[in-house]
Amino acid sequence: MTRKRIATFSLAQIALFVGVIGCGQTVAMLPANPPVTRSVPTVAVQTLTVERTSTQPATVHAFHEARSFAKASGYVSTLNVDIGSAVKAGDVLAVIDVPETVAQYGSAEAALMRLTAGVTQAQAQVAIAKASLLAADSTRQQALADEQRADAQLIADEAEHTRVAELVKQRAVADRLLDEATNRLGAARAAKASVTATTAAAAAQVEVAKAQVAAAEADLLAAQADVQVGKMRLEELQALMSYAELRSPFDGVVVERRVELGDLVRNSQNTATTVEPLFVIAQTDKVRIRVAIPERDTPLANIGDSASITLQALPGQTFSGTVARLAGSLDERTRTMLVEIDLPNPDGKLLPGMFGQATILLESRAEQVALPASAVRYDEKGRSYVYVVDGNETIQIVDVATGVDDGLQIEITSGLTGSERVVGPLLHRLSAGQKVNVEG
């Protein structure tokens, strides 16, 4: 018995017609498959505050770090600190023995005493010269007075001589009286000449005394200048001697020590070779967190931006701070910009060199449209779009522009208003105009 194969079609699928063409051949047309209506999930378009952050590696640095070098040559005679020692500003870290400078200081001190005595001597010479000037001026004044008396006497004798000569001419008196008047007049004239010479000599003596005063005062100025030079030399030696004491520039901790008691150290300025610091002092009551942010984030970075820091050595702890300073330029090698965040460190738990991460809040915008990351799709050219279900349960393909993406939510900067029904994650593609059933 021959088995028969029976094909069964639904009424909606059977449409059979036969046409006779040409020499009686028959053609049968099979029905086409209708489009399939898919069920799709939708996600809600959210309106939320979008924050743009930059999370980068971070390193702890001392707020200040000073490297102490020797500026004096000699043997280390005293060593007061070691690594880990807490120091205050001005504390003596070590003392270098500098006997040559001490001897020079003693010599300069003695020379200054001698120069100071020279000033005293010069002051005395000025006083003597001024006294001599006063005496010379007194002599000149006396000579002037004598000259005035001689002038008066000469005038009187001249008048008497004229009167007697008139009387002799009138034969009123004897001739001998005229001789006597003539003698007196000659004596007066001689006295006047003598007094005039004395006055001139006294005036010259006054000028000499003035010159002596000027010379003595110049000597005094020179002596005082010598004393000033001596004092400056003494101050210079004091400064050189102070370099023999290495002091801490601020409160901090000794983090490095590269010198031993009795070591010979040399003035670092007088050597052509590279020398290492004898001590390194770190200020750690406040620390700097240094972060290199990439070029794309630099336009949004500002002083005052909030930041949170986590460190590998202190798990479970988060430190909050704000951006204190920006480098203002990019490193050409790494295309990053240095950012510093200051953190208080009163208990000293943040140690220079610790490594971790810093998250800096660059921007915060409220009322922004966002979608789950799985709802945004991309074509082979990188175009971003979403599937939107319209009121007719039909798919619309809408191009969108994206912004901040944290891996969970993506900011939609344009393309959506926030009221749309957007298709969620699917394993297959949809086409524009396709009918769908919305799940749930």
Which tens digits make up the pLDDT trace of 339-351?
999 999 999 999 9
Q: What is the pLDDT of residue 21?
A: 37
Gap between the Cα atoms of 127 and 212, Å rounded: 10
Rounded to the nearest angstrom, the gap between the alpha carbon of residue 429 and the centroid of all alpha carbons in its chain is 60
Q: State the average pLDDT for the chain.
A: 85
Place of tokens 């949809």: 430
Is residue 50 predicted with pLDDT exceeding 80?
Answer: no
More confident residue, 214 or 37: 214
One-letter amino acid for residue 195 of the chain: V
pTM equals: 0.62
Q: DSSP string covering 134-173, please?
A: HHHHHHHHHHHHHHHHHHHHHHHHHHHHHHHHHHHHTTSS
pLDDT digits (tens, 9 = 90+) for 240-294: 889 999 999 999 999 999 999 999 998 887 766 668 899 999 999 999 999 999 9
377 or 30: which leads in pLDDT: 377
CB 404 within 8 A of CB 51: yes
The answer on pLDDT for 432 being more than 80 is yes
The confidence score (pLDDT) of residue 184 equals: 83
Asked whether residue 3 carries a pLDDT value surpassing 70, the answer given is no
Rounded distance, CA 281 to CA 248, Å?
A: 7
One-letter amino acid for residue 25 of the chain: Q
Please state, in angstroms and as integers, the Cα–Cα distance from residue 90 to each residue in 79, 139, 241, 252, following that order: 15, 66, 15, 11
How far, in Å, CA of 323 to CA of 303, rounded?
5
* pLDDT reading at 396 higher than 50: yes
Judged against a pLDDT cut of 80, whether residue 209 lies above it is answered with yes
Q: Which amino acid is at 112?
A: L
Provide CB contacts within 8 A for 95, sequence distance 6+.
Answer: 76, 77, 78, 244, 245, 246
Confidence of residue 35 (pLDDT cuts 50, 70, 90): low
Distances (CA, A) of 330 to 52, 151, 251, 304: 20, 100, 33, 19
How far, in Å, CA of 385 to CA of 378, rounded?
6
Beta strands 314-331 and 264-265: pairing type? unpaired
Per-residue pLDDT, 298: 94
By C-alpha distance, which of 110, 105, 39, 46 is closest to 72?
Answer: 105
Which residues are CB-neighbours of 104 under 8 A, at least 6 positions away?
Answer: 237
Give dist(CA 109, CA 14) in Å, integer: 128
The C-alpha atoms of residue 203 and residue 57 are separated, in whole angstroms, by 93
The pLDDT of residue 354 is 97
